A = this chain, B = another copy of it.
Amino acid sequence: MITKLISKIRKTNAPIVVGLDPMMKYVPEYIKKAAFAEYGETLEGAAEAIWQFNKGIVDAIYDLVPAVKPQIAMYEQFGIPGIMAFKKTIDYCHEKDLVVIGDVKRGDIGSTSEAYAVGHLGKVQVGSKAYYGFDEDFVTVNPYLGSDGVNPFLKVCKEEKKGIFVLVKTSNPSSGELQDRLVKAKKEEKSSKGIAESIAADSMDRPLYEIVGEQVAAWGTACMPEEGDYSYVGAVVGATYPEQGRILRKIMPKTFILVPGYGAQGGKGADLVHFFNEDGLGAIINSSRGIVAAYQQEIYSHFGEKGYADASRAAVLAMREDISSALKCEKNF
Protein backbone atom coordinates (compact mmCIF):
# COMPACT_ATOMS: atom_id res chain seq x y z
CA MET A 1 0.00 0.00 0.00
CA ILE A 2 2.96 2.32 0.58
CA THR A 3 3.88 1.62 -3.06
CA LYS A 4 0.39 2.62 -4.17
CA LEU A 5 0.51 5.73 -2.01
CA ILE A 6 3.83 6.81 -3.53
CA SER A 7 2.67 6.07 -7.06
CA LYS A 8 -0.45 8.16 -6.50
CA ILE A 9 1.58 11.01 -4.99
CA ARG A 10 3.75 11.00 -8.12
CA LYS A 11 0.75 10.89 -10.41
CA THR A 12 -1.14 13.71 -8.70
CA ASN A 13 1.99 15.68 -7.90
CA ALA A 14 0.32 16.29 -4.56
CA PRO A 15 1.86 14.89 -1.37
CA ILE A 16 -1.42 15.75 0.30
CA VAL A 17 -3.89 13.87 2.44
CA VAL A 18 -7.28 15.41 3.10
CA GLY A 19 -8.40 14.98 6.68
CA LEU A 20 -12.06 14.02 6.64
CA ASP A 21 -12.89 15.35 10.10
CA PRO A 22 -16.49 16.40 9.75
CA MET A 23 -17.28 18.45 12.84
CA MET A 24 -20.92 19.57 12.83
CA LYS A 25 -19.91 23.22 12.78
CA TYR A 26 -18.27 22.68 9.39
CA VAL A 27 -21.34 21.09 7.81
CA PRO A 28 -23.41 23.56 5.74
CA GLU A 29 -26.86 24.31 7.14
CA TYR A 30 -28.66 23.02 4.05
CA ILE A 31 -27.07 19.59 4.47
CA LYS A 32 -27.95 19.44 8.16
CA LYS A 33 -31.50 20.59 7.39
CA ALA A 34 -32.02 17.84 4.82
CA ALA A 35 -30.54 15.17 7.10
CA PHE A 36 -32.60 16.26 10.11
CA ALA A 37 -35.73 16.40 7.95
CA GLU A 38 -35.20 12.75 7.09
CA TYR A 39 -33.90 11.38 10.42
CA GLY A 40 -34.75 14.06 12.97
CA GLU A 41 -32.21 15.71 15.24
CA THR A 42 -30.83 12.30 16.17
CA LEU A 43 -27.50 10.52 16.05
CA GLU A 44 -28.70 9.02 12.77
CA GLY A 45 -29.45 12.52 11.50
CA ALA A 46 -25.98 13.73 12.46
CA ALA A 47 -24.40 10.67 10.83
CA GLU A 48 -26.33 11.28 7.62
CA ALA A 49 -25.24 14.94 7.62
CA ILE A 50 -21.54 14.14 8.02
CA TRP A 51 -21.74 11.39 5.42
CA GLN A 52 -23.37 13.71 2.83
CA PHE A 53 -20.83 16.40 3.71
CA ASN A 54 -17.96 13.96 3.19
CA LYS A 55 -19.38 12.63 -0.05
CA GLY A 56 -19.52 16.12 -1.52
CA ILE A 57 -15.90 16.76 -0.61
CA VAL A 58 -14.65 13.41 -1.85
CA ASP A 59 -16.44 13.90 -5.16
CA ALA A 60 -14.76 17.29 -5.51
CA ILE A 61 -11.19 16.27 -4.64
CA TYR A 62 -10.65 12.58 -5.38
CA ASP A 63 -8.85 13.24 -8.68
CA LEU A 64 -6.45 15.73 -7.06
CA VAL A 65 -5.09 13.87 -4.06
CA PRO A 66 -3.74 10.40 -3.35
CA ALA A 67 -5.29 9.88 0.05
CA VAL A 68 -7.79 10.82 2.73
CA LYS A 69 -7.53 10.53 6.49
CA PRO A 70 -10.80 10.22 8.35
CA GLN A 71 -10.32 10.93 12.07
CA ILE A 72 -12.46 8.29 13.75
CA ALA A 73 -13.15 10.41 16.86
CA MET A 74 -15.24 12.79 14.78
CA TYR A 75 -17.49 9.84 13.92
CA GLU A 76 -17.23 7.94 17.21
CA GLN A 77 -18.69 10.93 19.02
CA PHE A 78 -22.01 10.17 17.32
CA GLY A 79 -22.05 6.64 18.71
CA ILE A 80 -22.93 3.72 16.46
CA PRO A 81 -24.55 5.77 13.68
CA GLY A 82 -21.35 7.84 13.62
CA ILE A 83 -19.19 4.74 13.25
CA MET A 84 -21.46 3.60 10.43
CA ALA A 85 -20.78 6.91 8.65
CA PHE A 86 -17.04 6.30 9.20
CA LYS A 87 -17.30 2.91 7.50
CA LYS A 88 -19.46 4.30 4.69
CA THR A 89 -16.86 7.02 4.11
CA ILE A 90 -14.03 4.48 3.93
CA ASP A 91 -15.93 2.33 1.46
CA TYR A 92 -16.79 5.31 -0.71
CA CYS A 93 -13.19 6.52 -0.75
CA HIS A 94 -12.09 3.06 -1.83
CA GLU A 95 -14.60 3.22 -4.68
CA LYS A 96 -12.87 6.43 -5.73
CA ASP A 97 -9.51 4.63 -5.50
CA LEU A 98 -8.25 6.85 -2.68
CA VAL A 99 -5.78 5.50 -0.16
CA VAL A 100 -7.50 5.59 3.25
CA ILE A 101 -5.52 6.38 6.38
CA GLY A 102 -7.67 5.64 9.42
CA ASP A 103 -6.60 8.12 12.07
CA VAL A 104 -7.44 5.91 15.02
CA LYS A 105 -4.29 6.23 17.16
CA ARG A 106 -4.85 2.80 18.67
CA GLY A 107 -2.22 0.94 20.65
CA ASP A 108 -2.51 -1.51 23.55
CA ILE A 109 -0.99 -4.66 25.01
CA GLY A 110 -0.24 -7.42 22.50
CA SER A 111 -3.48 -9.39 22.35
CA THR A 112 -5.50 -6.19 22.29
CA SER A 113 -3.42 -4.51 19.59
CA GLU A 114 -3.91 -7.68 17.61
CA ALA A 115 -7.67 -7.17 17.77
CA TYR A 116 -7.31 -3.53 16.65
CA ALA A 117 -4.98 -4.55 13.81
CA VAL A 118 -7.35 -7.26 12.66
CA GLY A 119 -10.38 -4.98 12.93
CA HIS A 120 -8.94 -1.99 11.09
CA LEU A 121 -6.47 -3.47 8.62
CA GLY A 122 -7.03 -7.19 8.46
CA LYS A 123 -9.71 -9.82 8.46
CA VAL A 124 -11.33 -11.28 11.55
CA GLN A 125 -12.14 -14.96 11.67
CA VAL A 126 -15.77 -15.92 12.33
CA GLY A 127 -16.14 -19.68 12.32
CA SER A 128 -14.94 -20.81 8.90
CA LYS A 129 -15.20 -17.36 7.33
CA ALA A 130 -13.13 -14.17 7.53
CA TYR A 131 -14.29 -10.57 7.24
CA TYR A 132 -12.81 -7.11 7.02
CA GLY A 133 -14.15 -4.96 9.86
CA PHE A 134 -13.23 -1.42 8.79
CA ASP A 135 -10.65 -2.08 6.06
CA GLU A 136 -8.54 1.07 6.12
CA ASP A 137 -5.25 0.96 4.14
CA PHE A 138 -3.17 2.53 6.90
CA VAL A 139 -3.86 3.37 10.54
CA THR A 140 -2.09 5.60 13.02
CA VAL A 141 -0.64 3.85 16.09
CA ASN A 142 0.35 5.15 19.53
CA PRO A 143 3.76 3.84 20.69
CA TYR A 144 3.45 4.42 24.47
CA LEU A 145 3.15 0.68 25.22
CA GLY A 146 6.30 -0.30 23.27
CA SER A 147 6.89 -3.04 20.68
CA ASP A 148 4.21 -5.37 22.08
CA GLY A 149 1.65 -2.81 21.09
CA VAL A 150 3.05 -2.29 17.59
CA ASN A 151 4.16 -5.77 16.47
CA PRO A 152 0.62 -7.12 15.92
CA PHE A 153 0.01 -4.24 13.50
CA LEU A 154 3.23 -5.09 11.63
CA LYS A 155 2.15 -8.71 11.31
CA VAL A 156 -1.20 -7.79 9.80
CA CYS A 157 0.43 -5.17 7.55
CA LYS A 158 2.77 -7.79 6.16
CA GLU A 159 -0.11 -10.17 5.44
CA GLU A 160 -2.37 -7.54 3.95
CA LYS A 161 0.25 -5.33 2.31
CA LYS A 162 -0.97 -2.38 4.32
CA GLY A 163 0.82 0.07 6.61
CA ILE A 164 0.88 2.15 9.78
CA PHE A 165 2.02 5.58 10.88
CA VAL A 166 3.41 5.62 14.42
CA LEU A 167 3.07 8.79 16.51
CA VAL A 168 6.56 10.23 17.00
CA LYS A 169 6.21 13.99 17.50
CA THR A 170 2.63 15.17 17.41
CA SER A 171 1.49 18.58 16.16
CA ASN A 172 -0.31 19.82 19.29
CA PRO A 173 1.07 22.52 21.62
CA SER A 174 1.55 20.18 24.59
CA SER A 175 3.21 17.39 22.61
CA GLY A 176 6.53 18.31 24.23
CA GLU A 177 5.41 17.51 27.77
CA LEU A 178 6.46 13.90 27.31
CA GLN A 179 7.82 13.69 23.76
CA ASP A 180 10.50 16.38 24.25
CA ARG A 181 11.73 15.16 27.63
CA LEU A 182 15.44 14.47 27.45
CA VAL A 183 16.09 10.80 27.90
CA LYS A 184 19.32 9.55 29.34
CA ALA A 185 21.44 7.29 27.20
CA LYS A 186 21.13 3.70 28.37
CA LYS A 187 24.01 2.35 30.48
CA GLU A 188 25.21 0.07 27.72
CA GLU A 189 25.34 3.12 25.43
CA LYS A 190 27.50 5.00 27.96
CA SER A 191 31.09 4.69 28.99
CA SER A 192 31.21 3.64 32.61
CA LYS A 193 34.85 4.52 33.16
CA GLY A 194 34.71 7.77 35.03
CA ILE A 195 33.18 11.13 35.72
CA ALA A 196 34.65 12.81 32.64
CA GLU A 197 33.15 10.24 30.31
CA SER A 198 29.94 10.33 32.27
CA ILE A 199 29.66 14.06 31.68
CA ALA A 200 30.56 13.60 28.02
CA ALA A 201 27.82 11.03 27.77
CA ASP A 202 25.38 13.84 28.58
CA SER A 203 25.70 14.85 24.97
CA MET A 204 24.12 11.53 24.08
CA ASP A 205 20.96 12.37 25.97
CA ARG A 206 18.18 12.98 23.51
CA PRO A 207 14.52 13.88 23.44
CA LEU A 208 12.09 10.99 23.67
CA TYR A 209 10.77 11.60 20.16
CA GLU A 210 14.22 10.75 18.76
CA ILE A 211 14.20 7.46 20.64
CA VAL A 212 10.77 6.71 19.21
CA GLY A 213 11.96 7.79 15.75
CA GLU A 214 14.87 5.36 15.96
CA GLN A 215 12.52 2.61 16.99
CA VAL A 216 10.23 3.40 14.04
CA ALA A 217 13.21 3.28 11.68
CA ALA A 218 14.19 -0.09 13.16
CA TRP A 219 10.69 -1.52 12.77
CA GLY A 220 10.74 -0.21 9.21
CA THR A 221 13.93 -2.04 8.28
CA ALA A 222 12.09 -5.31 8.70
CA CYS A 223 9.05 -3.98 6.87
CA MET A 224 10.13 -2.99 3.37
CA PRO A 225 7.80 -3.64 0.45
CA GLU A 226 8.96 -5.75 -2.48
CA GLU A 227 9.95 -2.65 -4.38
CA GLY A 228 10.61 0.98 -3.46
CA ASP A 229 12.70 2.89 -0.97
CA TYR A 230 10.14 3.39 1.77
CA SER A 231 9.02 1.06 4.50
CA TYR A 232 5.36 0.54 5.28
CA VAL A 233 5.99 1.65 8.85
CA GLY A 234 5.54 5.41 8.70
CA ALA A 235 5.73 8.11 11.34
CA VAL A 236 3.59 11.06 12.42
CA VAL A 237 5.55 14.29 12.88
CA GLY A 238 3.71 17.62 13.20
CA ALA A 239 4.25 20.43 10.67
CA THR A 240 4.26 22.74 13.68
CA TYR A 241 7.70 21.41 14.67
CA PRO A 242 9.86 21.87 11.53
CA GLU A 243 13.19 21.70 13.36
CA GLN A 244 12.29 18.39 14.91
CA GLY A 245 11.08 17.31 11.47
CA ARG A 246 14.51 18.02 10.02
CA ILE A 247 16.20 15.85 12.64
CA LEU A 248 13.68 13.05 12.41
CA ARG A 249 13.96 13.03 8.60
CA LYS A 250 17.63 12.09 9.06
CA ILE A 251 17.00 9.56 11.81
CA MET A 252 14.35 7.80 9.71
CA PRO A 253 15.52 8.03 6.06
CA LYS A 254 13.30 5.22 4.80
CA THR A 255 10.24 6.24 6.79
CA PHE A 256 7.31 7.98 5.16
CA ILE A 257 6.21 10.85 7.37
CA LEU A 258 2.57 11.79 7.79
CA VAL A 259 2.62 15.49 8.65
CA PRO A 260 -0.44 16.95 10.37
CA GLY A 261 -0.73 20.54 11.51
CA TYR A 262 -0.56 22.32 8.16
CA GLY A 263 -2.94 25.24 7.74
CA ALA A 264 -5.39 25.69 10.60
CA GLN A 265 -2.89 24.45 13.21
CA GLY A 266 -0.26 26.91 11.97
CA GLY A 267 2.14 24.94 9.74
CA LYS A 268 3.16 26.65 6.46
CA GLY A 269 4.59 25.40 3.15
CA ALA A 270 8.06 26.64 3.96
CA ASP A 271 7.99 24.64 7.21
CA LEU A 272 7.46 21.45 5.27
CA VAL A 273 10.55 21.19 3.11
CA HIS A 274 12.67 19.40 5.68
CA PHE A 275 10.12 16.63 6.03
CA PHE A 276 10.91 15.55 2.47
CA ASN A 277 13.92 13.61 1.23
CA GLU A 278 16.00 14.69 -1.72
CA ASP A 279 13.98 12.43 -4.00
CA GLY A 280 11.08 14.82 -3.36
CA LEU A 281 9.26 12.06 -1.51
CA GLY A 282 9.08 10.81 2.05
CA ALA A 283 6.28 12.98 3.38
CA ILE A 284 2.56 13.45 2.97
CA ILE A 285 0.97 16.56 4.40
CA ASN A 286 -2.44 16.49 6.03
CA SER A 287 -4.91 19.32 6.07
CA SER A 288 -8.32 18.85 7.63
CA ARG A 289 -10.20 22.04 8.60
CA GLY A 290 -8.26 24.07 6.03
CA ILE A 291 -9.81 21.98 3.28
CA VAL A 292 -13.11 20.56 4.49
CA ALA A 293 -14.21 23.88 6.00
CA ALA A 294 -12.53 26.07 3.37
CA TYR A 295 -15.82 27.79 2.50
CA GLN A 296 -15.87 29.27 6.00
CA GLN A 297 -12.60 31.12 5.33
CA GLU A 298 -12.67 34.68 4.08
CA ILE A 299 -10.77 33.94 0.87
CA TYR A 300 -13.13 31.16 -0.19
CA SER A 301 -16.31 32.76 1.10
CA HIS A 302 -17.49 33.61 -2.41
CA PHE A 303 -18.20 29.92 -2.93
CA GLY A 304 -20.95 30.17 -0.35
CA GLU A 305 -22.38 27.27 1.64
CA LYS A 306 -23.69 25.45 -1.42
CA GLY A 307 -20.27 25.67 -3.03
CA TYR A 308 -18.49 24.17 0.00
CA ALA A 309 -17.10 21.25 -2.02
CA ASP A 310 -15.78 23.54 -4.75
CA ALA A 311 -14.17 25.64 -2.04
CA SER A 312 -12.48 22.47 -0.78
CA ARG A 313 -11.21 21.78 -4.28
CA ALA A 314 -9.82 25.30 -4.54
CA ALA A 315 -8.14 24.89 -1.16
CA VAL A 316 -6.49 21.65 -2.29
CA LEU A 317 -5.18 23.35 -5.42
CA ALA A 318 -3.80 26.24 -3.36
CA MET A 319 -2.18 23.80 -0.93
CA ARG A 320 -0.61 21.84 -3.77
CA GLU A 321 0.80 25.07 -5.16
CA ASP A 322 2.08 26.18 -1.74
CA ILE A 323 3.94 22.90 -1.16
CA SER A 324 5.21 22.71 -4.71
CA SER A 325 6.61 26.28 -4.56
CA ALA A 326 8.24 25.64 -1.23
CA LEU A 327 9.92 22.48 -2.52
CA LYS A 328 11.03 24.21 -5.75
CA CYS A 329 12.38 27.16 -3.79
CA GLU A 330 14.35 24.82 -1.52
CA LYS A 331 15.88 23.06 -4.51
CA ASN A 332 17.08 26.36 -6.02
CA PHE A 333 19.07 27.34 -2.96
Task: Check A34 for interface membership: any CB of B closer than 8 A.
Answer: no
Size category of the A interface is 35 or more
CB closest residue in chain B, given A133: B79
**How many copies of this chain does one complex carry?**
2
| A73 and B112 within 8 A (CB) | yes
Asked if A195 and B199 make an inter-chain contact with CB atoms under 8 angstroms apart, the answer reads yes
Known: A46-B124, A126-B24, A170-B109. A144 touches B147 (CB 8 A): no
Binary per-residue interface labels of chain A (16-57) against chain B in the complex, 1 for a CB within 8 Å, 0 otherwise:
000001011000000010001000011101100000000000
**Chain B residues with Cβ under 8 A from A24's Cβ?**
125-126
Check B108–A144 contact: CB distance below 8 A.
no
Across the interface, do A124 and B211 meet the contact criterion of CB distance under 8 Å? Answer: no
The CA of A175 and the CA of B144, in the complex, are separated in Å by 7
Q: Which residues of B contact A199 (CB under 8 A)?
A: 195, 198-199
Asked if B195 and A208 sit within 8 Å, CB to CB, the answer is no
In the complex the two chains form, is B172's CB within 8 Å of A146's CB? yes
Are the CB atoms of A112 and B71 closer together than 8 Å? Answer: yes
Contacts of A149 in B (CB 8 A): 172, 174
Q: List 19 A-B contacts (CB under 8 A).
A: A43-B126, A74-B112, A76-B116, A76-B134, A79-B124, A79-B134, A105-B107, A107-B142, A142-B144, A143-B178, A144-B144, A144-B178, A144-B179, A145-B167, A146-B178, A178-B211, A181-B208, A183-B184, A208-B208
Q: Which residues of A contact B (CB under 8 A)?
A: 21, 23-24, 32, 36, 41-43, 45-46, 71, 73-74, 76-80, 82-84, 87, 105-113, 115-116, 118-120, 124-129, 131-134, 142-149, 167, 170-179, 181-184, 195, 198-199, 205, 208, 211-212, 215, 260
